[in-house]
Amino acid sequence: MAITSKMAIVLIVLMAVFLLSDTVMGQRRSKGGGGGGGGSGSNNLSSSDYGLFCIEVGFYKKTCPNVEKIVKKAVVDYVSIAPTLAAPLLRMHFHDCFVRGCDGSVLLNSTKSNQAEKDAIANLSLRGFQVIDAAKSALEKQCPGVVSCADILALVARDAVSLINGPTWQVPLGRRDGRVSILSEATTNLPTPFDNFTTLKTRFGSLGLSVKDLVVLSGGHTLGVSHCFSFGSRMYNFTGKGDMDPNMDKKYIAQLKTKCKPNDVTTTVEMDPGSFKTFDTDYYTLVSKRRGLFVSDATLLTDKQTKAYVLAQLSSSGSTFFEDFGVSMVNMGKIGVLTEKSGEIRKKCAFIN
């Protein structure tokens, strides 16, 4: 039988769909994990994983239509009383997505046989787990077994930022929860305060995030506090010779030395002095004046693109940054997500089912 041009087109389309489906399923299988919070599930996320799986705004419109209202109530109940919780709640979502993708693995407790991400040094200062638990408890009463802890993290981060005069954005949902959480992976994969630009660009790029996402998400440092040990070497022993970081403003170093003594591991300092409880563009002003706390902040001035973005915010009303932040948070929220039959929907966020 002769094949018409229309039939040929149909066959080509069907073959393309089959090949795409096989590729997607193969990558999903490669992300499988173990049980009990440990295991050796692949953590080799790359830019090819980014945006591969389908999450969408309104995912729960039929199965749990009040999900956003329920989560926001939990956030309001806590953040309205303790605004400083906004920073660690935002950071929690960030730390979740950078290790194994946005799968709620940062919420899992360690077990006798496995040390989880939560106990990594970089995560010991995370706070606000009670907000996640409150939201999950309320959701389980209204929509049992439906909403993932990973999605709760994404919604809580958005609502925490918006409650302290920050932007809001639509959050695509449909993530499922991972069953694996390994301390060493958090140690290896999370960006550090000591990262230079090349290291940061590599970390972000390997997860499908752009240089613009890097500089925009760095703006989250407008919130919260940091321990002195995260930047102490910049004041006291930058190159191992008892010297100061020449890329840090000397007057600022003098101010910080009145708060942070050498080898201080307990004192905290405001990331954005004067407005660390408010989401704004002041962080970029500080960076432009060489007053960012971290090496990873100062390094934004070493790249042409990130420096241009930092300086552009000095004459901006903040609306551009607010819009950009929402876009970059959505981009980050797509990293390595589990969907459909992958993972699970945890009953309690700190434990696998």
Residue 16 has pLDDT above 70, yes or no: no
Please tell me the predicted confidence (pLDDT) of residue 168: 98
Q: Is residue 264 part of a domain?
A: yes
Verify whether residue 95 is a known catalytic residue: yes
Q: Is residue 29 part of a domain?
A: no
- Whether 99 has a binding-site annotation, put simply, is yes
CA atoms within 13 A on the CB side of 260: 26
| Reported confidence tier of residue 38, pLDDT bands at 50, 70, 90 | low
- Whether 264 has a binding-site annotation, put simply, is no
Cα three-residue angle 155-84-248, rounded to 5 degrees: 110
Please tell me the predicted confidence (pLDDT) of residue 70: 99
Predicted confidence (pLDDT) per residue in 254-307, tens digit: 999 999 999 998 999 999 998 888 999 999 999 999 999 999 999 999 999 999
Mean pLDDT, to the nearest integer, of 82-95? 97
Q: Is residue 92 part of a domain?
A: no
Which residue, 98, 109, 175, 92, is CA-closest to 352? 109
Please tell me the predicted confidence (pLDDT) of residue 26: 36
Cα three-residue angle 15-16-17, rounded to 5 degrees: 90
Predicted confidence (pLDDT) per residue in 150-171, tens digit: 999 999 999 999 999 999 999 9
Cα 140 to Cα 133, 151, 217, 342: the distances in Å are 10, 14, 31, 20
- Whether 267 has a binding-site annotation, put simply, is no
Mean pLDDT, to the nearest integer, of 140-149? 98
Q: Is residue 174 part of a domain?
A: no
**Average pLDDT along the chain:** 88
Please tell me the predicted confidence (pLDDT) of residue 49: 47
Mean pLDDT, to the nearest integer, of 13-32? 37
- Whether 159 has a binding-site annotation, put simply, is no
Please tell me the predicted confidence (pLDDT) of residue 20: 37
- Whether 151 has a binding-site annotation, put simply, is no
Counting other chains too, the contacts that 59-65 makes at CB distance below 8 Å and 24 or more residues apart are 59/151, 59/172, 59/173, 59/174, 60/143, 60/146, 60/147, 60/173, 63/143, 63/146, 64/139, 64/142, 64/143, 64/146, 64/147
- Whether 117 has a binding-site annotation, put simply, is yes
Please tell me the predicted confidence (pLDDT) of residue 53: 55
- Structural contact between residues 106 and 185, judged by C-beta atoms closer than 8 angstroms: no
- Whether 133 has a binding-site annotation, put simply, is no
Q: Is residue 74 part of a domain?
A: no
- Whether 38 has a binding-site annotation, put simply, is no
| Reported confidence tier of residue 18, pLDDT bands at 50, 70, 90 | very low
Cα three-residue angle 303-304-310, rounded to 5 degrees: 85
Residue 5 has pLDDT above 50, yes or no: no
Q: Is residue 10 part of a domain?
A: no
| Reported confidence tier of residue 192, pLDDT bands at 50, 70, 90 | very high
Give phi and psi for 240, each to the nearest 5: 85, 10
- Domain housing 305: 197-332
Predicted confidence (pLDDT) per residue in 98-130, tens digit: 999 999 999 999 999 999 999 999 999 999 999
| Reported confidence tier of residue 180, pLDDT bands at 50, 70, 90 | very high
- Whether 105 has a binding-site annotation, put simply, is yes
Please tell me the predicted confidence (pLDDT) of residue 316: 85
In angstroms, rounded to a whole number, what is the distance separating the alpha carbons of residues 96 and 88?
A: 12
In angstroms, rounded to a whole number, what is the distance separating the alpha carbons of residues 263 and 236?
A: 9
Q: Is residue 202 part of a domain?
A: yes
Lowest mean pLDDT segment, chosen from 51-60, 123-132, 240-249, 289-298: 51-60
| Reported confidence tier of residue 48, pLDDT bands at 50, 70, 90 | very low
Among candidate residues 31, 72, 91, 95, the one labeled active-site is 95
Q: Is residue 269 part of a domain?
A: yes
Contacts of 166 (CB under 8 A, 6+ apart): 279, 322, 325
In angstroms, rounded to a whole number, what is the distance separating the alpha carbons of residues 189 and 321?
A: 26
- Whether 145 has a binding-site annotation, put simply, is no
Rg of the Cα atoms in the chain: 22
In angstroms, rounded to a whole number, what is the distance separating the alpha carbons of residues 94 and 160?
A: 13
Lowest mean pLDDT segment, chosen from 18-27, 59-68, 183-192, 265-274: 18-27
Domain tally, the chain: 1
Between these two residues, 275 and 29, which has the higher pLDDT value? 275
Output the domain CATH number for residue 222.
Answer: 1.10.420.10
